[in-house]
Amino acid sequence: MRQPYPLSHHLLCALPLLALLAASALCLGTGDEVTAHWRAWRHLHPDATLVVRVLTDWGNPAMYAVYAALMWRARRRHDPRTVRFVIAYVVVQLLISFLLVRVIKIAAGRTRPGVAGPWVPFSFDGPHNSLPSGHTTEIAGACAPLAMRWKRTAASLALGCFVAAVGYSRVLLGQHHASDVLAGLLLGSLAAFVIHRITYRHRITHRTTP
């Protein structure tokens, strides 16, 4: 029997980034004015910008350590479901957060913030590979499965805040448009859905011997 999908915890994990993107759109806009605002902010606050760069560079690797610890613990405790969970995370992230994201980036050919000119579909040029945000896809695909696994409101919101911090750091650093980050969140949510379904496709039952 399949386990019910914990939609509320999935949504809680996505909510902080959605709220941040909405606030950004209301306060700053949705176009070049966002890029200009954060460019000026980076010029005025180099130390804070350095902190944001550390977050954007190390946010996803920090989750690798979390999943590695889960695997180590699962192997020691002979926990097959957790092993399957971690393996599903690795495989799905490779297929969606790396392969699918890369295909979409090349096919769309969207220019990055501050790059002049139109979109250039089927481009391998980095400045024309803005959509979607790979960092956001990956962090959402890592945090949402944990939120759905642990099913604790505080943990789901904390993981969501981490997703928001890493995702919006891409906008703040001028690497992505807000819509790129939103697209990354949607793809990361797809990855999380698939990971959960693979992990809980069967409910483990324990038989007792007479």
CA pair distance 139, 1, nearest whole angstrom: 30
What pLDDT score was predicted for residue 205? 43
Residues of the chain with pLDDT under 50: 1, 204-210
Q: Which of 210, 165, 145 is nearest to 57 (CA)?
A: 165
What pLDDT score was predicted for residue 203? 53
Q: Sketch out the chain's domains with CATH numbers.
A: 12-23+31-199 (1.20.144)
CA pair distance 13, 164, nearest whole angstrom: 9
Per-residue pLDDT of 72-83, as tens digits, reads 999 999 999 999
CA pair distance 179, 187, nearest whole angstrom: 12
Per-residue pLDDT of 171-189, as tens digits, reads 999 999 999 999 999 999 9
What pLDDT score was predicted for residue 210? 38
